[in-house]
Amino acid sequence: MKYTTFFLCACSILLLGSCKNQPAQNGQPLEVMTFNIRLDAPSDSANNWKYRKDNACKMIAYYQPDLLGMQEVCHNQMEDLKQGLPQYTALGVGRDDGKEAGEYCPVFFKTDRFTLVEYGNFSLSEHPDTIGIKGWDASYNRVTTWAVLQEKSNGKKFVYFNTHLDNDGKIARKEGVQLILNKIKEIAPDVPAIITGDFNCEPDEEPLQILEKGGMQNTSETAGITYGPSWSFHDFGRIPLDERVLIDYVFVTDGAKVNRYRVIQDAPENGFLSDHCPVLVNLTLQ
């Protein structure tokens, strides 16, 4: 009996030691949100940012996304978001000068969960290293912010891109997503990738097909559970329900498991969070 007990204990110790040295097969689930917050425009009157900013921060704090990509963020809005969301590290630059001028496409990530390995910004243009220029047939300067992040719990790395494609330029939208795919291969070819953004195109349009052919999956189509409206842009409620469209997306590398997908239709008691709905996705990187 004594020898049997000793043998079992020894086997247990060896098994535990073996498991400890085995890397986790799957990563922890990630909550990923994309949210076009609408720039700070005086013409918005009662929908101006000063009336929306507190509720926008409260909504984000309630859903607690691990990763958050936003669009149309002016510098003063960036400062408001940093102050209202101290649990996040914020990255990004203004699209007009690579500093503080123009809209940001910032990446926010939970500071207590991830370590920042590397990050940067590039313009959606024929000269991506030069920020502040229009690309192809675009009406506006466009910028993408990216970050390589590492899970503190298990050391796993992935790359996260957040962008805003042009609203007018069809060529710019197609070339923009191809540029992002090229940057993924250049910056972090051997780790999973996540892309969030306002793509200014509907689900059947070519830029999304380019992403899918490039090894990315559209989470709105592959999620195990889908909830909420089929649209994300409502123009502060002005667009009739049957005319609203989905233009905000979360894409993730093929092979990742998309657990849940939701367009958040929440609104405060008075007014709106933005002219877009946030999109929240729960996914697991392989």
What is the band of 241 on the pLDDT scale with cuts at 50, 70, 90? very high
pLDDT beyond 70 at 10 = no
Using one digit for the tens of pLDDT, what is the confidence trace for 161-209?
A: 999 999 999 999 999 999 999 999 999 999 999 999 999 999 999 999 9
Give the bridge partners for 280, in sequence order.
33, 262
Region 105-127: what's the mean pLDDT? 98
Please give the mean pLDDT across all residues of the chain.
Answer: 92
Convert the chain into a string of H (helix), E (strand) and C (coil).
CHHHHHHHHHHHHHHHHHHHHCCCCCCCCEEEEEEECCCCCHHHHHHCHHHHHHHHHHHHHHHCCCEEEEECECHHHHHHHHHHCCCEEEECCCCCCCCCCCCECCEEEECCCEEEEEEEEEECCCCCCCCCCCCCCCCCCCEEEEEEEEECCCCCEEEEEEEECCCCCHHHHHHHHHHHHHHHHHHCCCCCEEEEEECCCCCCCHHHHHHHHCCEEEHHHHCCEEECCCCCECCCCCCCHHHCECCEEEEEECCCEEEEEEECCCCCCCCCCCCECCEEEEEECC
Distance CA 277, CA 35 (A): 7
Q: Do the bridges between strand 157-164 and strand 143-151 make them parallel or antiparallel, or are there none, so unpaired?
A: antiparallel
What b/e sequence results for 62-72 when a residue is b if at least 16 CB atoms lie within 10 Å of its CB, and e otherwise?
ebebbbbbbbb
**pTM of the model as a whole:** 0.91
Lowest mean pLDDT, pick from 16-20, 196-200, 259-263: 16-20
Domains of the chain: 27-284 (3.60.10.10)
Phi, psi of 233 (to 5 degrees): -105, 125
pLDDT beyond 60 at 1 = no
pLDDT beyond 80 at 96 = yes
Region 41-49: what's the mean pLDDT? 97
What is the band of 286 on the pLDDT scale with cuts at 50, 70, 90? confident
pLDDT beyond 70 at 3 = no
User: Is-contact 109 133, C-beta < 8 A?
Assistant: no
pLDDT beyond 90 at 8 = no
User: Is-contact 144 186, C-beta < 8 A?
Assistant: no
pLDDT of residue 26: 60
What is the band of 141 on the pLDDT scale with cuts at 50, 70, 90? very high
Query: What percentage of the chain reaches a pLDDT higher than 70?
Result: 91
Report CA torsion sign: 242, 248, 253, 259. negative
pLDDT beyond 90 at 16 = no
